[in-house]
Structure 1
Amino acid sequence: MTRRNRSGVRGRYAKSEQRSTEILDAATTVFATHGYHAGSLRDIAAELDLSLTSIAHHFGHKFELLEAVLERADNTENGNEEFDFGSACRERGVAHATLQRVRSNLGRPELLRLFAILSTESSAPGHPAHAWFVDRYTRKVDALTRAFAFDQMRGRVQRSRDPHVLSRLLIGAWDGIQLQWLIDPSTDMEQAMSMFFASWSPGALIDS
């Protein structure tokens, strides 16, 4: 009796987790296609043939769902598998970690399109995701600054380079090249990013 109950709890939890994942997948598609304001909860529910009540059961508000979509997209390789960019930077350096991420991004255009659309939308201070993106870029710059400084200690990056400036340049180049690739998939993202490192941090692509 006890075993059946425990199994039932696990089963309900697994089904709930699966449903949450399905909702996040549908929300990613809707937000990446229409943006946040034009993409509605009704659109997301229609993607799954669910009621609005079912969506609200898992994610109480539209912004809560948006935040979950953004967090998942920012911390995974293909929407589901975790990617520890910080560990990759420490093990092989910023350049190699970045190119690994670039290669994985080639298989997730929908998630890149999501960020391209929502980051532009959220440049308006009143947008619900404005604070999230401000915080994201602050965290990214800080993390990359530390990673570039670590690379300098390991001899991967010239000490004459300012790690904070390098982090800003990297984010700007990365976002811009990804956008070009979304518009024209013939753009070679990996080659372009390799050229960035060759120009701004000579030696970064040499394994230490």
Structure 2
Amino acid sequence: MTMEKPAGARGPYAKSAQRSREIIDAATIVFATHGYRGGSLRDIARQLNLSLTSIVHHFGTKYELLEAVLERADKTIDTGFAEFDFLGDCAERGVARATLARVRSNLERPELLRLLAILAAESSAPEHPAHDWFIDRYRNKRASLAEAFAFDRSKGRIDSGRDPQLLSRLLIGTWDGIQLQWLIDPSIDMEQPMRAFFEWAVPEALSPDA
């Protein structure tokens, strides 16, 4: 009998965790389609054939659900896949090669890229609930990439005169812009213009000895 209690305790918890994942999945679709303003908890409930009360039971407010969606999407895109640790790959192979590999892997996750693109644009309004979240996200991305470029410089992968802070901002701007064009028209090539950016900005980073 003592062995049955832990199993019983895990059962409801596992079901609750699974339901939360399903709600986040549905919210990702709704927010990626309609944005945060246009998507509602009722839309998400309809996706799953659940009551609104069930959604609120797992996520008390629409903003709590938005935070969960953003955190999972950001983790999935940037660092969440065990088989592809972006910052680890930057340290091992350099920012240029790691970025091009990440661009290729992101082709498999258009719905998450679309979600972040839509919500980033929406959140440019200071009153948007995710405004501060995206400020922190871009601040952290700039810092992480600048650190990675500085590491490349210390390893001789890029010239010593390169400015890691400037390269970080230029890379993010280029990457976001090319990615947005691809989301609008998936027939365009995303990897080639990203490679062209590195060939223009830090050609030494793609040399065989880098």
Shorter-chain TM-score range = over 0.9
Equivalences for 1:46-65 in 2 at 5 Å?
46-65=46-65
Structure 1 length normalisation: TM-score? 0.94
Query: What letter corresponds to residue 21 of structure 1 in structure 2?
Result: R
Deviation at 1:39, TM superposition (A): 0.2
Structure 1 unaligned runs (5+)? Answer: none
| 1:132 maps to 2:122 | no
Question: Gaps (5+ residues) in structure 2?
Answer: none
The residue that corresponds to 1:44 in the other structure is: 44
> How far off its partner does 1:130 sit?
0.4
How far does the alpha carbon of each residue in 1:133-189 deviate from its partner, in whole angstroms, 9 at most, with x for none?
011111110111100000001111111111000000000000000010011111111
1:201 is matched with which residue?
202
**What pairs up with 1:137-148 in 2 under 5 angstroms?**
137-148=138-149
Deviation at 1:11? 2.0
* Cα drift, residue 85 of structure 1: 2.1
1 CA distance for matches of 2:96 and 2:180? Answer: 20
Q: 1:79 to 1:136 in 2, by over 3 A?
A: closer
> Structure 1 stretch 40-49 or stretch 72-81: which is displaced more?
72-81
CA positional deviation for 1:205: 2.6
**Distance in 1 between residues matched to 2:188 and 2:104, nearest whole Å:** 13
Question: Which secondary structure does the structure 1 equivalent of 2:27 belong to?
Answer: helix
- Note if contact 2:79-2:87 (Cα within 8 Å) is conserved in structure 1: no
SS at match of 1:161: coil
Give the deviation of 1:111 after TM superposition: 0.9
The one-character-per-residue Cα deviations of 1:65-99 (angstroms, maximum 9, x if unpaired) are 11111111111149974553221211111112212
Match of residue 25 from structure 1: 25
Structure 1 residue identity aligned to 2:22: E
Whether the aligned pair in 2 keeps the contact of 1:59 and 1:65 (CA below 8 Å) is: yes
2:168 counterpart residue number = 167
Q: What is the Cα deviation at residue 4 of structure 1? A: 1.4
- Give the corresponding residue for 1:151: 152
Identity of aligned residues (%): 67
Letter in 2 for 1:128: P
> 2: CA distance between counterparts of 1:94 and 1:58?
39
Which residue of structure 1 lines up, in the alignment, with residue 10 of structure 2? 10
Question: Given that residues 123 and 130 in structure 2 are in contact (C-alpha distance below 8 angstroms), is that contact kept between their aligned partners in structure 1?
Answer: yes
Q: More deviation in 114-123 or 76-85?
A: 76-85
